[in-house]
């Protein structure tokens, strides 16, 4: 159960003015304020590890790339604090800043596994992926997700969101994966910012100028009332420091394994160590979706009571359904039908499952597909929304559990067929916490990968933004069709142009000389993310030869996944990414050197 630490503004105006505002501090000051005396910064500005991509666009880089890593102790417990500086590029995550996050989490994990437990605290003030680095920013966020999940298995990873910028975009998924989330009432948390939703879906869907509406959806008070933030604190440094220390101490206690979705006990953090992480509380998310009518959504002010009333509701039995499939519905559908050995079945009206035999072993195909009749009107065109994120997580978790006792060589491959326009941009989605539903899917994929399941993503169409973070980017092998209509990116080109205040023509020109900005799949394949780029004769209507060749490539990908690393670190090796991720390698090496 969530905790509130006197976050209600004091009626004593003098006390308010005398407070030591945490929000008014910069990232470096915030990080040191949380740690005991003697903390030291890693990869500081004098190391001058700057983004290699910003100067090429006329943007002055920062010598710390807007991210501070400080190592020390919190009340005597070894902790690394990772703080994003919102004053630089709106806290956007690029190649270097993202690599600093992943490398710091990786170092904390290595220390922990070596018998030196080290917790992590993430200070999130970010709009998400830095669009000036687009595809490398998106990759970096996926790698940060993997880093949080790996460390969270052993030590607490606490997210603190304090300032008004909040945590949006892919970094909201990172927050949702953390062991605990602490917010101030001045903070905001959501996957899609109000302006982005208005831009994508129109003012009738979300009026970004309606500040009361914005705070009723994304604000710290609302996220806390929905139990999507564990602790609500005032903007005062000492109470915030104490809340972080309590979260680290409580969550660092020996874990007691409890059934999924076990309700929390008394309303204090001491019970959080026995709870399933929020991104794995799938039954809770299912009950929440069952409690609302997407065709007649509740007012934000009523949502908390509605969700609380559903806490003990029985779960309706669920199964699969079948219906006629039209290959013309999209490439995802077409390739699923073509590859499957069994008739595809629907786990939801927008999620297909089928079985494909690879090298004598069944593999599970999962594909998000359009449904013009979906009750979630912002997820009718193949977007990953509330239902899709949750249903992916449920099915993958089920597979992982069913194969838990199987030897590694028998664990079922999971094939994510990817053709999705993005995540769902909608008011209802934000109100319900779509960031948490997509985090559940990312968690499930990463957990399956870590357990030894070969996880392969096959991109046959578009793969954009948060949708790809949830359905594809946690794979340990990624294949893509070598086709001009395959598009992989952090954002739609028109939206990216609006947000970066550039024309589409300017973006196109920059993309010709800056690979992370390109919408061309061949350029994307140079970033270390693509294990094979596969030519086909007909990407829309795969021929028999196309299918035969693809089955062979999927079997090879499964074989590579079984024999290779279960982490994502191979993505930035010199062999896979050349000079395009040289900065990432430099960050990891410097972090390892300075962590000693």
| 3-class SS letters over 41-109 | EECCHHHCCCCCCCHHHCCCCCCCCCEEEEEEEECCEEEEEEEECCCCHHHCECHHHHHHHHHHHHHHH
Residue 586 covered by a domain: no
Cβ neighbourhood burial of 409 (10 Å; 0-12, 13-18, 19+) = exposed
Are 135 and 20 found together in one domain? Answer: yes
- Residue 212 in any domain: the answer is no
Distance from C-alpha of 333 to C-alpha of 512, rounded to nearest angstrom: 32
Nearest 5 degrees, angle CA 25-CA 27-CA 30?
A: 60
DSSP 8-state secondary structure symbol assigned to residue 279: G
User: What's residue 501's pLDDT?
Assistant: 85
Predicted confidence at residue 267, as pLDDT, reads 38
- For residues 386 and 436, give the distance between their C-alpha atoms in angstroms, rounded to a whole number: 9
Rounded CA separation 493/79 (Å): 40
Q: Are residues 30 and 159 in the same domain?
A: yes
Burial 181-195 (b: 16+ CB within 10 A, else e): bbbbbbbbbbbbbbb
Bridge-based pairing of strands 455-464 and 487-489 is parallel
- Are 418 and 336 in contact by the 8 Å Cβ rule? The answer is no
Q: Is 378 inside any structural domain?
A: yes
Distance separating alpha carbons of residues 436 and 103, to the nearest angstrom: 24
What are the tokens at 262?
A: 């076990």
Q: Judge contact between 144 and 166, C-beta under 8 A.
A: no
Both 65 and 179 in a single domain?
Answer: yes
Contacts of 454 (CB under 8 A, 6+ apart): 363, 411, 413, 414, 476, 477, 557, 558, 561, 562
**How far is Cα 423 from Cα 173, in angstroms, rounded to an integer?**
12
Q: What are the two backbone dihedrals, phi and then psi, of residue 450, each rounded to the nearest 5 degrees?
A: -65, -30
Beta-carbon neighbour count of residue 543 at 10 Å? 12
Cβ–Cβ under 8 Å, residues 531 and 575: no
Q: Would you state the pLDDT for residue 18?
A: 84
Residue 489 lies in domain: 331-563
Same domain, 297 and 347: no
Any domain includes 325: no
Cα-Cα-Cα-Cα dihedral sign, residues 80, 86, 87, 89: positive
How many structural domains is the chain composed of?
3
Same domain, 445 and 477: yes
Please check whether residue 574 lies inside any domain of the structure: no
Alpha helices, H only, 410-519: 427-432, 434-451, 465-470, 493-500, 504-511
Closest CA to 130 of 175, 85, 71: 85
Query: What is the distance of C-alpha 42 from the center of its chain?
Result: 25
Question: Does residue 492 share a domain with residue 345?
Answer: yes
Pair 292, 353 in one domain: no
Question: Which residues are registered as beta bridge partners of 84?
Answer: 67
The pLDDT of residue 2: 64
Contact 373, 349 (CB under 8 A): yes
The pLDDT tens digits along the chain (596 residues) read 467 766 666 666 777 788 899 999 999 999 999 999 999 999 999 999 999 999 999 999 999 999 999 999 999 999 999 999 999 999 999 999 999 999 999 999 999 999 999 999 999 999 999 999 999 999 999 999 999 999 999 999 999 999 989 999 999 999 999 999 999 999 999 999 998 999 889 999 999 999 999 999 999 999 999 999 999 999 999 999 999 999 999 887 654 444 444 433 333 333 344 457 999 999 999 999 999 999 999 999 999 999 999 998 999 888 889 888 888 889 999 999 999 999 999 999 999 999 999 988 999 999 999 999 999 999 999 999 999 999 999 999 999 999 999 999 999 999 999 999 999 999 999 999 999 999 999 999 999 999 999 999 999 999 999 999 999 999 999 999 999 999 999 988 888 888 888 899 999 999 999 999 999 999 999 999 999 999 999 999 999 999 999 999 999 999 999 999 999 999 999 999 999 999 999 999 999 999 98
In this structure, what CATH number is given to the domain that contains residue 48? 3.90.226.10
Asked if residue 247 lies in contact with residue 269, where contact means CB atoms within 8 angstroms, the answer is yes
> Where are the alpha helices (H) located in 153-202, listed in sequence order?
170-177, 194-201
Q: What do you get for the CA distance between the two ends of the chain, in Å?
A: 38
Asked whether residue 430 falls in the same domain as residue 295, the answer is: no
Look at the chain and count its residues: 596
H-state helical runs in 273-325: 282-290, 300-309
Residues 427 and 535 in one domain: yes
Together in a domain, 354 and 486? yes
Could you tell me how far CA 178 lies from the centroid of its own chain?
11
Pair 244, 160: CB distance under 8 Å: yes
28 plus 173 within the same structural domain: yes
Assigned domain for 525 exists = yes
pLDDT of 103 reads 98
- Residue 31 is classified by DSSP as H
Half-sphere exposure of 243 (CA within 13 A, CB side): 29
Distance of CA 261 to the CA centre of its chain: 21
For residues 420 and 551, state if they share a domain.
yes
For residue 273, being part of any structural domain is answered with no
Residue from 461, 456, 458 nearest 488 by CA: 461
- What pLDDT shows up at residue 323? 84
What distances in angstroms separate CA 142 from CA 44, 470, 471, 490, one per listed residue?
A: 24, 9, 11, 12
In a domain, 202, yes or no: no
The secondary structure of residue 269, as a DSSP letter, is G
């Amino acid at each position: 159960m969530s905790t509130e630490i006197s976050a209600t503004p004091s009626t004593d105006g003098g006390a308010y003015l005398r407070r030591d505002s945490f929000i008014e501090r910069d990232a470096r000051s915030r990080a040191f304020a949380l740690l005991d005396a003697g903390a030291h910064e890693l990869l500081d500005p004098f190391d001058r590890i700057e983004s290699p991509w910003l100067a090429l666009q006329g943007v002055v880089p920062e010598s710390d790339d807007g991210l501070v890593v400080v190592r020390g102790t919190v009340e005597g417990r070894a902790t690394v604090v990772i703080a994003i500086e919102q004053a630089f590029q709106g806290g956007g995550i690029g190649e270097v800043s993202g690599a600093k996050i992943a490398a710091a989490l990786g170092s904390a994990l290595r220390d922990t596994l070596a018998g030196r437990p080290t917790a992590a605290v993430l200070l999130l003030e970010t709009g998400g992926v830095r669009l000036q680095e687009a595809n490398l920013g998106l990759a970096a966020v996926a790698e940060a997700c993997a880093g949080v999940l790996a460390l969270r298995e052993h030590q607490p990873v606490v997210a603190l969101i304090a300032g008004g910028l909040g945590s949006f975009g892919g970094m909201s998924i990172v927050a949702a994966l953390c062991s605990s989330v602490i917010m101030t009432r001045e903070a905001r948390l959501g996957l899609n910012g109000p302006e982005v939703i208005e831009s994508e879906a129109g003012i009738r869907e979300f009026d970004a100028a309606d500040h009361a509406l914005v705070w009723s959806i994304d604000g710290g008070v609302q996220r806390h009332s929905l139990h999507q933030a564990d602790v609500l604190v005032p903007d005062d440094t000492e109470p915030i420091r104490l809340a972080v220390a309590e979260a680290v101490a409580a969550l660092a206690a020996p874990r007691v394994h409890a059934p999924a979705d076990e309700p929390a006990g008394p309303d204090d953090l001491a019970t959080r160590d026995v709870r399933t992480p929020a991104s794995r509380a799938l039954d809770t998310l299912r009950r929440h979706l069952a409690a609302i009518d997407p065709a007649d959504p509740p007012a934000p002010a009523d949502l908390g009571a509605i969700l609380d009333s559903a806490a003990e509701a029985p779960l309706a039995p669920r199964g699969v359904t079948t219906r006629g499939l039209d290959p013309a519905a999209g490439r995802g559908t077409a390739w699923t039908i073509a590859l499957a050995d069994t008739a595809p079945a629907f786990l939801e009206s927008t999620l297909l499952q089928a079985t494909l035999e690879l090298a004598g072993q069944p593999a599970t195909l999962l594909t998000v597909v359009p449904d013009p009749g979906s009750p979630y009107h912002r997820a009718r065109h193949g977007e990953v929304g509330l239902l899709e994120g949750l249903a992916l997580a449920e099915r993958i978790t089920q597979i992982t559990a069913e194969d838990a006792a199987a030897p590694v060589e028998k664990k079922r491959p999971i094939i994510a067929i990817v053709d999705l326009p993005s995540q769902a941009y909608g008011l209802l989605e934000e109100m319900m916490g779509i960031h948490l539903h997509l985090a559940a899917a990312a968690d499930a994929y990463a957990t399956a990968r870590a357990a030894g399941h070969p996880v392969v993503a096959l991109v046959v169409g578009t793969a954009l933004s948060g949708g790809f973070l949830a359905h594809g980017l946690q794979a340990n092998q990624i294949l893509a069709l070598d086709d001009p209509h395959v598009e992989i990116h952090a954002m739609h080109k028109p939206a990216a142009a609006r947000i970066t205040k550039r024309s589409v023509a300017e973006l196109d020109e920059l993309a010709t000389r800056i690979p992370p900005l390109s919408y061309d799949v061949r350029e994307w394949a140079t970033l270390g993310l693509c294990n094979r780029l596969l030519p086909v004769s007909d990407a829309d209507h795969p021929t028999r030869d196309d299918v035969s060749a693809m089955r062979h490539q999927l079997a090879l990908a499964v074989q590579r996944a079984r024999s290779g690393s279960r982490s994502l670190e191979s993505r930035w090796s010199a062999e896979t990414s050349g000079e395009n991720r040289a900065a990432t390698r430099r960050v990891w090496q410097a972090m390892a050197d300075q962590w000693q």
